[in-house]
Amino acid sequence: MLSKLGLHVGQEMLLNVLWTQGEMSQTELADRLDIQPATLTVALKRLEKSGLIVRARDPEDKRVSKVQPSYKSGELRNGVMLAWSRLEHDSVAGLTDAEQGMLKILLNKVAASLSEDQIE
């Protein structure tokens, strides 16, 4: 679905953080996405080459690189949200309302367990 928008897997998550949180340093972005800085750098190079993000040095600290979504990326935002909505709908289409409710409860428990395991 996202390939039709010219995005690779995971790029929409990165862009969504920038769309919702605004400009931030590469370090902050890596922390928010819970990915290694080197992995983020590769993703940012692709997005920058595509014109979807803008990177610039922080005027107050030249060692820090700030990242923000480009105007061009904003044009993709509705398409990304629509793709996510379709994926959510399609993934539970064969389930009854009761099954969907149970799935949500179970997935929340799994997410909570994973979060607790990461803390320990």
Evaluate if residue 2 carries a pLDDT over 80.
no
pLDDT band at 1 (very low <50, low <70, confident <90, very high): confident
Class of domain 2-94: mainly alpha
Max CA pair span of the chain: 55
Strands (E), 5-91: 24-25, 53-58, 61-69
pLDDT band at 117 (very low <50, low <70, confident <90, very high): low
Token representation of residue 106: 């179970």
